[in-house]
């Protein structure tokens, strides 16, 4: 073997050693606990699920305000308690006011406070959502919502809709 090939062999051996040691993962030491098993639902997954319930409630209300009977029943999938009743009352008032066009623009932020509770802070602009007899009261308004997880899904349970211009 020539001196050049010996250097090349040594060079390849060093590269292989660097690759093996650089790419390996060290085992945890005896006093280190291995990482916990991944949870089935990440916090961002819970935020997405809770936010989907909130926006789903609004989607159902908007579709129902346009006369979609199925959407009115779908409200039960996204809202319970006083939130559902508030939206049903708003839908009844909108239906009495005539035909509804357009839809509100949502800008929600969500905070999952635990496995069974989340809160949404939103600024809903209903300027482009003609809900019958709302003459002059449309605009950007603060909306506070509380969601609960009932063991099956997230649902809006409490809802407060502030006056136009509140956000």
Domain count, the chain: 1
SS (H, E, C) 65-128: HCCCHHHHHHHHHHECHHHHHHHHHHHHHHHHCCCEECCCECCCEEEEEECCEEEEEEEEECCC
What whole-number distance in Å separates Cα of residue 28 and Cα of residue 33?
7
64 assigned to some structural domain: yes
8 assigned to some structural domain: no
31 assigned to some structural domain: no
Instruction: Give the SS3 label for residue 141.
Output: strand
pLDDT tens-digit readout, 67-115: 887 877 889 999 999 999 999 998 888 777 777 889 999 999 999 999 9
7 assigned to some structural domain: no
What whole-number distance in Å separates Cα of residue 55 and Cα of residue 147?
12
58 assigned to some structural domain: yes
Per-residue pLDDT of the chain (167 residues; tens, 9 = 90+): 444 433 332 322 332 223 333 333 333 344 444 344 434 444 479 999 999 999 999 999 999 888 887 877 889 999 999 999 999 998 888 777 777 889 999 999 999 999 999 999 999 999 998 764 445 578 999 999 999 999 999 999 999 999 999 99
Give the up-direction half-sphere exposure of residue 76: CA atoms within 13 A in the CB hemisphere.
Answer: 4
15 assigned to some structural domain: no
30 assigned to some structural domain: no
Return the pLDDT at 138. 85
Tokens representing 8?
Answer: 């090349």
Return the pLDDT at 94. 78
Tokens representing 165?
Answer: 């211009």
What's 87's domain CATH number?
3.10.450.50
Structural domain that includes position 97: 43-161
12 assigned to some structural domain: no
Residue 78: which of 61, 62, 42, 54 has the closest Cα?
Answer: 54
User: What predicted TM-score, i.e. pTM, was given to this entire model?
Assistant: 0.70
Contact call for residues 110 and 136 (beta carbons, < 8 A): no
What whole-number distance in Å separates Cα of residue 136 and Cα of residue 146?
28
Residue 130: which of 98, 158, 155, 85 has the closest Cα?
Answer: 98
């Amino acid at each position: 073997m020539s001196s050049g090939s010996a250097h090349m062999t040594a060079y390849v051996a060093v590269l292989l050693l660097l690759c093996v040691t650089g790419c390996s993962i060290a085992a945890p030491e005896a006093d280190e606990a291995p990482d916990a098993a991944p949870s089935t639902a990440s916090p961002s997954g819970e935020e997405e699920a809770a936010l989907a319930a909130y926006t789903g409630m609004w989607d159902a209300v908007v579709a129902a305000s346009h006369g979609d009977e199925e959407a009115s029943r779908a409200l039960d999938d996204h809202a319970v308690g006083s939130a559902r009743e508030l939206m049903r009352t708003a839908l009844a008032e909108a239906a009495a006011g005539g035909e509804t066009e357009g839809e509100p623009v949502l800008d929600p932020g969500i905070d999952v406070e635990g496995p069974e509770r989340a809160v949404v802070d939103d600024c809903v602009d209903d300027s482009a959502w003609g809900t019958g007899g709302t003459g002059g009261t449309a605009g950007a308004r603060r909306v506070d919502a509380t969601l609960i997880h009932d063991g099956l899904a997230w649902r809006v349970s409490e809802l407060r809709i502030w006056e136009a211009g509140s956000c």
